[in-house]
Amino acid sequence: MHALLSSILSAFSIPGEILTYDTPSDGNINKTYRVSLRHNGEVRRYVVQGINQYVFPRPDHVMENIRLVTAHLRKKEPERTVLHFYETADGALLTAAGGEVWRVCDLIPSVTHSGRPSPMAAEQAGTAFGHFGMLLSDLDPKGLHEIIPGFHDTVSRYQALHHAAAADPLGRAAEVQEELQRLLALEEVACTLTRLQQQGALPLRVTHNDTKISNILFDPTGEHPVAVIDLDTVMPGLLAHDYGDAIRSAANQSAAEDDLRGARMDERILEAFTAGFLRETGTVLSAMERETLYLAPIVMTAETAVRFLSDYLMGDPYFRPRYPGHNLQRARMQMRLAEDLFARRAEIAAIIRKYLP
Ligand code: GN1
Ligand code: MG
């Protein structure tokens, strides 16, 4: 690995001798290495990432979107930290080595919340993701590639689950009948936002699409966001998805996506995140967006359950499992959380109303 990392770094004209490297990522998709280099007596740190080409068949499109979005963010707020990717000698943001496609960016000294954030950190996270969406609200989504077609098309995600259960290539369907039935019970409500968007009632915007709380870097105190990361899925989408996915990942009792004990909404985190998010985006939202936002946490959590369960049925081709049955466990947790969010939708709607300007 040492030699591979070295050759990647030199393709990006980054000089120095590798001191250490490790793999920090709790991501399910890309391969990530943190690398320390010494150059002229100084230590510099970088993130080297191998892009998962099963998930991202066009890494060049991923990087074009990232270039566009980071340039827009930098132009609007030059003083703020934005991910910075290196270019090869011929101006490319990617290099191929060892059968993979790689990119390199500066490592931003920071901590992430992979567990539950404090309410204060959750409010800050809401502000960070909300601010991100607000700054991008004047960027035309037509200028961006659709990186993963139908990424948050909940209707197609449900169709894929029906197909996976019918095809049942590994004979796993019998064991997940209960999960299938319970997810089916949520199908209609979970598909509401996609249907409204298809009818033209909800606007497409430039959105992040993967607003897990761990995709915000905080300063070492863990309270102040420094940067929004994981821009791979920045593309046209619904702002509601960004709100909903953050609530899914942060406002529960455990935040580990496979921990069943966490499958209950934490109303303090819901409120804190919502306050921050709506302070930034409240004035941008259309009347229909305001009215339907309360559905977003249910939609995103049910959709994530559907994706994990489909993947389990198909033999885990997409989400890297860390133990056998991991994707089923993830699906169960997300399904239960979605049920809790659905049962408590009036509570969510009331909190949103409280913070809408
Ligand atoms: C994936 O990139 P990563 O590992 O943080 C996935 C998200 C899911 C998430 C669930 C491109 O996120 O959509 O919500 O796993 N990203 C992609 O943990 O599919
Ligand atoms: Mg991601």
Q: Does residue 24 register a pLDDT over 90?
A: no
Choice between 329 and 116, residue whose per-residue pLDDT is larger:
329
**Other beta carbons within 10 Å of 47:** 19
Per DSSP, 234 falls in state -
pLDDT on residue 256? 87
Note the Cα 254 to chain centre separation in Å. Answer: 18
- Please name which ligand lies nearest the alpha carbon of 25: 1
Q: Does residue 112 register a pLDDT over 70?
A: yes
Query: How far is it, in rounded angstroms, from Cα 36 to Cα 89?
Result: 22
Average pLDDT over residues 276-291: 97
Q: Which of 28, 49, 306 to mutate to test the pocket of ligand 1 (most atoms within 8 A of CB)?
A: 28
**Residue whose token pair is 């994990």:** 308
3-state secondary structure of 82: coil
Average pLDDT over residues 319-347: 97
Pocket of ligand 1 (CB under 6 A): 27-29, 55, 210, 212, 230, 232-233, 257, 304
**Other beta carbons within 10 Å of 141:** 15
Q: Does residue 26 register a pLDDT over 90?
A: no
pLDDT per residue as tens digits for the range 135-160: 999 999 999 999 999 999 999 999 99
Contact 112, 214 (CB under 8 A): yes
3-state secondary structure of 57: coil
Query: What are the structure tokens assigned to 33, written together?
Result: 């290495």
Name the strand (E) or helix (H) holding 102.
strand 100-106
pLDDT on residue 25? 64
Query: What residue's CA is closest to ligand 1, atom 3?
Result: 27
Contact 114, 122 (CB under 8 A): no
Rounded to the nearest angstrom, the distance between the alpha carbon of 354 and the centre of ligand 2 is 31
pLDDT on residue 222? 83
Q: Which of 61, 209, 210, 231 to mutate to test the pocket of ligand 1 (most atoms within 8 A of CB)?
A: 210
Angle at 293 between CA 277 and CA 256, to 5 degrees: 65
Average pLDDT over residues 166-170: 98
pLDDT on residue 175? 97
**Other beta carbons within 10 Å of 222:** 15
Query: How far is it, in rounded angstroms, from Cα 299 to Cα 249?
Result: 13
